[in-house]
Structure 1
Amino acid sequence: MGVETDGATKPSQAPEHLDVLIVGAGVSGLGAAYHLRRDHSGRRIAILEARDTLGGTWDLFRYPGVRADTDMHTFGYAFAPWRGEARLADGAEILAYLRATAADLGLDRAIRLRTRVLGAAWSSARSRWTVETADSGTGERRTLTCAWLVCATGYFRYDEGHTPYFEGSEKFRGRIVHPQHWPADLDHAGKRVVVIGSGATAVTLVPALADTAAHVTMLQRTPSYILAIPARDRVVAALRRAFGDRRAHTVARTLYLLRQQALWLFCQRFPAVARWFIRRCTARRLPAGYPVDLHFNPPYGPWDQRLCLAPGGDLFAAISRGTASVRTDTIATFTEDGLLLASGERLAADIIVTATGLNVEALGDVRVTVDDTPVNLADTVVYKGLLLSGVPNLAYLVGYTHASWTLRIGLSGEYLSRLLTHMDAHGHTTARPEVGDPPLTTRPFLDLAAGYLTRVVPALPRQGDRAPWRTSTDYLGDVRLLRHQPIENNELRMS
């Protein structure tokens, strides 16, 4: 396939060929690139990024207080020590960390900015992908080919967040904003703000806005579990003094991942005890007589949805000061000056923030075909958490939903590197997972009861009920599966 350069009088040029093409220069793409560059320095690798800078989520999200929702020692890379003091770093700190890591390791030189991937077509006859791209600014089209395609775009749409229709919203005379695209000119100082939602974004936004707003109300339909944690970790500080940044990072990373795993298992096995413990911790942070069971006692079990963290108990502190409050109700309609709730209560507002979630989009909306047949993701099953059944030489990188995202990204990058080494040693050019016997019973790949995921289950890949098709939430189990188990498997066809 050629690309015409300038009219019919000039010959078409063969597309540039790469060994590995990584789509996305965020935390996932950079993590995968590190392992591939380290172990396969002779391979031609490029990272395509649709935006005009690296960082992905952490460059996109600019709302007040934006921060990580897991500790930085496990959210950061194993190969790049986190040197900051915050247990949950803010967005600017994370972006600076990613930029510094990419520059220090030379990964930034592999990034091609403002390059959006439109489609990818696999040819079995040629054992390669043909990838169509467009310049994000000019729209100019270009074709590349590659042996391996790595989709590191996460699972949500960058161009829009999820905002359901609210009755009467056109009447509101104030400003309505979604956190995913926070206006740079929005001044909330001295304003009455209502934040609709109770997830991690709302829990982050409310205390940050409450520092200068006249008052902030978190309006939730259903409460979330929110656990206060220390903003700084004295143990990590002591480890750094004793062993230096790199060794301290390794020890702290191990401690935190074990703590994450223990908390999740405890919540799954003893949900009633976990509910009691979290409620008790919450009540101790709030004024006497506060209606904890109305506003902070969800109808579901801990970790059925993601557990929100409040460093230093900042949300509870804002409520205790009276600069923030919580309402558990539904919206009847927007009014000219705020909201009318189903209970009849009116909330006055100058600014309404719709922290109502994400729109999910697998593979960055790249159109994928295999031998001219479109790939329907819902018909695929995920192999070892990153390969798709029936799709050759493609990896889809998705992190953990019950722990730090980057923990699984690191293991996936290691596995992909091992797989390429194995293929080189045995003269293989193609790896295609295929479901064998016994047949699988499947369920959603992202097994978390969050609204933004349940809305799009039919459009996402599936997972099976047995290894290697079952998507694990157990990091130590994944270490065995991805780092130590043999590459050879009768359900991974290589040729």
Structure 2
Amino acid sequence: MKRHMNHFEEDILIVGAGLSGISAACHLQKELPKRRFTILERRTNIGGTWDLFRYPGIRSDSDMFSFGFKFKPWRNAHFFSQGADIRDYVQEAATENKVFDHIRFQRKVVSADWNSRAKRWIVKVVNEATGEEETYRAKFFWCCAGYYNYDKGYKPDFPGEDTFKGQIVHPQHWPEGLDYTGKRVVVIGSGATAVTLVPSMVDKAARVTMLQRSPSYIFSLPSVDAITQVLQKTLPANLAYKLNRTRTIGLAHVMFKACKSRPAAMRKFILKMVARQLKGSTVDIKHFSPSYMPWDQRLCLVPDGDFFKALRGGKADVVTDHIERFEPEGIRLKSGELLEADLIVTATGLNVQMVGGMNLMKDGVPVNLGQKMFYKSVLLQDVPNAAVVLGYTHASWTLKSDLAAGFVCRLLKHMDKHGLTVATPHAGEVPVVNELTVLGGLSSNYLKRVADQLPRQGATHPWRNKQDYYHDQKVLLKDPVDEDGLMFA
């Protein structure tokens, strides 16, 4: 990194030091050791989501053998892991690959503008520790900033909020040391966060109620299985990890394909599993019977049925209703019932935000992502020398970030070998498909709210994002880099 005052010259500039950014850096260290790169991270530590979220029970909602990096074995036998363990794992990966020397913390990226004459990205940054402005000129721009707003989670404006006498907390901004001992807790939501919070809070709270507007599919998996343990005990760590990873990726793929090809049968199967888990509780299965089919929205996975154990234990319950208003003593439902509460947790989701909320431009003209397509699900249409990493929605996020990193390294090697400086995807006459399949075709509300801001789908390869690991493995790691649509200069 060359520096002059507050100006920096870079080969490669990575934004974000979460899973995707650390994966990108580790791949560069291994595959392009002579390339200079810098990571800009707004927070004071690496880990992204796993450094931000600190609510009770925070854990992965993907199995750790596919959630872990391909190049670093996950040595624990548990399928799901706590947030602290994931933070430690990411820290280890960064340390082992000497990534920390490349990270500049507390840097907020304000804008990134491709200058065609200079053949450089001009990136404007604020050092939030000092308030100083910095400018980075980079040959290649790699955005690993995730897909949601770190500053503010999504929360509807509920009528009468200011009248509630208790405390209202959003999981994205969980107060340190929050004491809910003996309190009546209402968790608003039915997604992964809500089903994690409920069993994690029942030990201290007087009662925990999950209030949902509509049900979600919740599927229980064992946190440890016998095959995993046998492989880890009898084989070298790298081989055991490879086999466990291959097995869990395959099982998840089969499960997803079955849900899409035989939705009615899979719905019946999942609800049958739920009915077994609810035996011994007073909770009706109607609270777990969505109107949509499996994987039209994300499937919630719970380890060892801990969510259902909380229901059977009698200190947790589920209510399906709409909120009329908040009142001093709790939440008035449209049915007329009052849910009494001392603490309300609004597990109402994320605010989806592309490219970290920065202003993305080309020669001073804003790039409208809602009018662009992804090339091989990594590069942006008509945007030179830039990669944007979006993980899978129905498989591990890290699976995709690892594949994307592999592809970018292949692309950079190809450009170096042939003396090329600029790579730009051009779609030509490929028709645009205006649907939400760029993030897996989910019908979730958090995606519908920003549908006009998300990149479009193309009708044909390489402009169609299939959200399929096996397909992407071939396309990103084996197919020729310079396929139709990618123009070089």
Compute the TM-score of the two structures, normalised by the length of structure 1.
Answer: 0.96
Please tell me whether the aligned partners of residues 11 and 139 of structure 2 are also in contact (alpha carbons under 8 angstroms).
yes
C-alpha deviation, 1:291, in angstroms? 5.2
Match of 2:182 in 1: 190
What is the rounded CA distance, in whole Å, between the counterparts of 2:252 and 2:175 in structure 1? 34
What is the rounded CA distance, in whole Å, between the counterparts of 1:460 and 1:441 in structure 2? 12
Q: Secondary structure at the match of 2:351?
A: strand
What is the rounded CA distance, in whole Å, between the counterparts of 2:281 and 2:328 in structure 1? 34
1:340 maps onto 2:332 in alignment? yes
Match of 1:109 in 2: 101
> Are the structure 2 counterparts of residues 314 and 431 from structure 1 closer, same or farther at C-alpha, using a change threshold of 3 Å?
same
Identical pairs, percent: 46
Q: Secondary structure at the match of 2:325?
A: strand
C-alpha deviation, 1:14, in angstroms? 8.2
Q: Secondary structure at the match of 1:353?
A: strand
Match of 1:7 in 2: none
Match of residue 21, structure 1, among 13, 29, 44? 13
C-alpha deviation, 1:417, in angstroms? 0.4
Please tell me whether the aligned partners of residues 168 and 344 of structure 2 are also in contact (alpha carbons under 8 angstroms).
yes
Letter matched to residue 196 of structure 2 = T
Please tell me whether the aligned partners of residues 379 and 386 of structure 2 are also in contact (alpha carbons under 8 angstroms).
yes
Letter matched to residue 15 of structure 2 = V
C-alpha deviation, 1:212, in angstroms? 1.4
1:172-220 deviation per Cα after TM superposition (whole angstroms, max 9, x unaligned): 0000000000001310111100000000000111100112110000000
Matches within 5 A, 1:24-423: 24-287=16-279, 290=282, 292-423=284-415
C-alpha deviation, 1:292, in angstroms? 3.9
> Are the structure 2 counterparts of residues 333 and 239 from structure 1 closer, same or farther at C-alpha, using a change threshold of 3 Å?
same
1:449-479 deviation per Cα after TM superposition (whole angstroms, max 9, x unaligned): 1111110011121121211011112111111
List gaps (5 residues or longer) in structure 2: none
What is the rounded CA distance, in whole Å, between the counterparts of 1:136 and 1:54 in structure 2? 16
> Are the structure 2 counterparts of residues 92 and 144 from structure 1 closer, same or farther at C-alpha, using a change threshold of 3 Å?
same
Match of 2:417 in 1: 425
Match of 1:464 in 2: 458
List gaps (5 residues or longer) in structure 1: 4-11
C-alpha deviation, 1:437, in angstroms? 3.3
Match of 2:467 in 1: 473
Match of 1:454 in 2: 448
What is the rounded CA distance, in whole Å, between the counterparts of 2:120 and 2:281 in structure 1? 65
> Are the structure 2 counterparts of residues 438 and 388 from structure 1 closer, same or farther at C-alpha, using a change threshold of 3 Å?
closer
C-alpha deviation, 1:366, in angstroms? 1.2
What is the rounded CA distance, in whole Å, between the counterparts of 1:476 and 1:175 in structure 2? 46
> Are the structure 2 counterparts of residues 122 and 289 from structure 1 closer, same or farther at C-alpha, using a change threshold of 3 Å?
closer
What is the rounded CA distance, in whole Å, between the counterparts of 1:116 and 1:234 in structure 2? 45
Tell me how many residue pairs correspond in the alignment: 486
Q: Secondary structure at the match of 1:18?
A: strand
C-alpha deviation, 1:108, in angstroms? 1.6
C-alpha deviation, 1:288, in angstroms? 5.4
> Are the structure 2 counterparts of residues 26 and 20 from structure 1 closer, same or farther at C-alpha, using a change threshold of 3 Å?
same
C-alpha deviation, 1:85, in angstroms? 3.0
C-alpha deviation, 1:86, in angstroms? 2.1
Letter matched to residue 451 of structure 2 = V
Q: Secondary structure at the match of 2:151?
A: strand
Please tell me whether the aligned partners of residues 382 and 463 of structure 1 are also in contact (alpha carbons under 8 angstroms).
yes
What is the rounded CA distance, in whole Å, between the counterparts of 1:23 and 1:133 in structure 2? 11
Letter matched to residue 394 of structure 2 = H
C-alpha deviation, 1:441, in angstroms? 3.0
Letter matched to residue 433 of structure 1 = P
1:44-80 deviation per Cα after TM superposition (whole angstroms, max 9, x unaligned): 1111100111111000000001100000000000101
1:488 maps onto 2:482 in alignment? yes
Letter matched to residue 491 of structure 1 = G
Q: Secondary structure at the match of 1:133?
A: strand
What is the rounded CA distance, in whole Å, between the counterparts of 1:431 and 1:14 in structure 2? 28
Letter matched to residue 150 of structure 1 = W
Please provide the CA RMSD for this pair: 1.5
Letter matched to residue 156 of structure 2 = P
What is the rounded CA distance, in whole Å, between the counterparts of 1:22 and 1:238 in structure 2? 39
Please tell me whether the aligned partners of residues 61 and 192 of structure 2 are also in contact (alpha carbons under 8 angstroms).
yes
C-alpha deviation, 1:15, in angstroms? 2.6
Q: Secondary structure at the match of 1:322?
A: coil
Please tell me whether the aligned partners of residues 441 and 464 of structure 1 are also in contact (alpha carbons under 8 angstroms).
yes
Letter matched to residue 171 of structure 2 = P
Q: Secondary structure at the match of 2:275?
A: helix
C-alpha deviation, 1:245, in angstroms? 1.8
1:93-127 deviation per Cα after TM superposition (whole angstroms, max 9, x unaligned): 10011011111111122111111111111111111
What is the rounded CA distance, in whole Å, between the counterparts of 1:233 and 1:49 in structure 2? 37
What is the rounded CA distance, in whole Å, between the counterparts of 1:112 and 1:410 in structure 2? 22
Please tell me whether the aligned partners of residues 440 and 466 of structure 1 are also in contact (alpha carbons under 8 angstroms).
no
Q: Secondary structure at the match of 1:316?
A: helix
What is the rounded CA distance, in whole Å, between the counterparts of 1:405 and 1:187 in structure 2? 32
Please tell me whether the aligned partners of residues 281 and 314 of structure 2 are also in contact (alpha carbons under 8 angstroms).
no
Letter matched to residue 68 of structure 1 = S
Letter matched to residue 483 of structure 1 = L
Please tell me whether the aligned partners of residues 443 and 464 of structure 1 are also in contact (alpha carbons under 8 angstroms).
no
Letter matched to residue 82 of structure 2 = D
What is the rounded CA distance, in whole Å, between the counterparts of 2:327 and 2:307 in structure 1? 27
Letter matched to residue 416 of structure 1 = V
Please tell me whether the aligned partners of residues 155 and 348 of structure 2 are also in contact (alpha carbons under 8 angstroms).
yes
Please tell me whether the aligned partners of residues 279 and 292 of structure 1 are also in contact (alpha carbons under 8 angstroms).
no
1:254-298 deviation per Cα after TM superposition (whole angstroms, max 9, x unaligned): 000000100000000111111111111011011358554420000
1:380-426 deviation per Cα after TM superposition (whole angstroms, max 9, x unaligned): 11111111101101100010001011111111000000001111111
